[in-house]
């Protein structure tokens, strides 16, 4: 039986496969057009793209109301499903902007429901945090974030910068990723939310199956997933493996 969800929130951490998932959901044509609409650094990008004026600044109630209206319009497909991706670091930004747009003083999950309607939460994690950290370090410092399936640049620098191994930064990233995952778990537990859970390692092995599980949860035909191509390319290579093994080796007790 179909579920009464009109929206979903992809709850993730960087380099957990969320771009792959967002691209496929959008390509399905029936499950919204999710993106990181409340990432602080991207607010003016989306405002420009949607024609939302911010001459008076982006920290006003008027702007946030117009931004929310445009976001719902652009992130919703003809089926009436809205999608958004939110990393843990953007939860506070989303809550603040929705509070300003909606008024009142309610919990962030209630704000999502008020803005988006009945909402499915999708928790996306990656088991191998060291591999995730290596991927994030290389993306941060090279400037190359994502490749399309044909090998062209989807997001980031056309000419990536060279990146050196950095054990201290990797350790910090691993700690951040573990903390963010724990924060999401706390978010769900405190609100008695049972998210749809996806794991990077399983999802990337069979992306269409992961997409089908989401479509089914949204009350859409899961068979559509088999027609949706994978839109992104895996970027991990021998260097990723080498750095991950080196980091694990170096942090073992002597």
**152, pLDDT greater than 90:** no
Q: Between the CA of residue 49 and those of 42, 53, 57, what are the distances in Å?
A: 11, 10, 16
Question: What is the rounded CA–CA span in Å between residue 178 and residue 150?
Answer: 32
Residue 240's pLDDT band (boundaries 50, 70, 90)?
Answer: very high
**119, pLDDT greater than 70:** yes
**How do residues 123-133 score in pLDDT, each as one tens digit?**
999 999 999 99
Question: What is the rounded CA–CA span in Å between residue 238 and residue 88?
Answer: 29
Task: Give the pLDDT confidence score for residue 234 in this predicted structure.
Answer: 82
Residue 235's pLDDT band (boundaries 50, 70, 90)?
Answer: confident
Location of structure tokens 């009464």: 4
**13, pLDDT greater than 80:** yes
Taking the CB of residue 108, how many other CB atoms lie within 10 A of it? 17
Percent of the chain with pLDDT over 90: 82
Question: What is the rounded CA–CA span in Å between residue 148 and residue 153?
Answer: 6
Task: Give the pLDDT confidence score for residue 1 in this predicted structure.
Answer: 39
- The answer to whether 247 and 134 have CB atoms below 8 angstroms apart is yes
Is the pTM higher than 0.85? yes
Residue 2's pLDDT band (boundaries 50, 70, 90)?
Answer: very low
**3, pLDDT greater than 60:** no
Task: Give the pLDDT confidence score for residue 140 in this predicted structure.
Answer: 87
């Amino acid at each position: 039986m179909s579920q009464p969800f009109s929206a979903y929130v992809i709850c993730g951490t960087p380099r957990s496969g969320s771009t792959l998932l967002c691209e496929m959901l959008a390509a399905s044509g029936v499950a919204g057009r999710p993106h990181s609409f409340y990432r602080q650094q991207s607010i003016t990008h989306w405002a420009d793209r949607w024609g939302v004026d911010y001459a008076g600044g982006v920290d006003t109630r008027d702007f946030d109301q117009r931004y929310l209206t445009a976001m719902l319009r652009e992130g919703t497909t003809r089926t009436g499903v809205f999608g958004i991706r939110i990393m843990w670091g953007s939860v506070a930004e989303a809550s603040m902007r929705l509070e300003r747009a909606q008024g009142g003083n309610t919990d962030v999950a209630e704000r999502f429901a008020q803005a988006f309607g009945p909402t499915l939460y999708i928790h996306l994690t990656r088991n191998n945090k060291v591999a995730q950290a290596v991927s994030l370090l290389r993306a941060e410092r090279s400037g190359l974030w994502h490749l399309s399936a044909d090998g062209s640049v989807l997001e980031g620098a056309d000419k990536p910068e060279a990146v050196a191994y950095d054990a201290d930064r990797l350790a910090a990233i691993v700690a951040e990723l573990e903390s963010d995952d724990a924060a999401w778990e706390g978010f769900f537990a405190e609100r008695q939310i049972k998210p749809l859970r996806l794991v990077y390692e399983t999802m990337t092995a069979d992306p269409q199956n992961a997409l089908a599980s989401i479509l089914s949860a949204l009350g859409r035909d899961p068979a559509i997933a088999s027609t949706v191509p994978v839109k992104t390319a895996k970027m991990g290579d021998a260097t990723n493996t080498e750095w991950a093994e080196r980091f694990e080796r170096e942090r073992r007790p002597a």
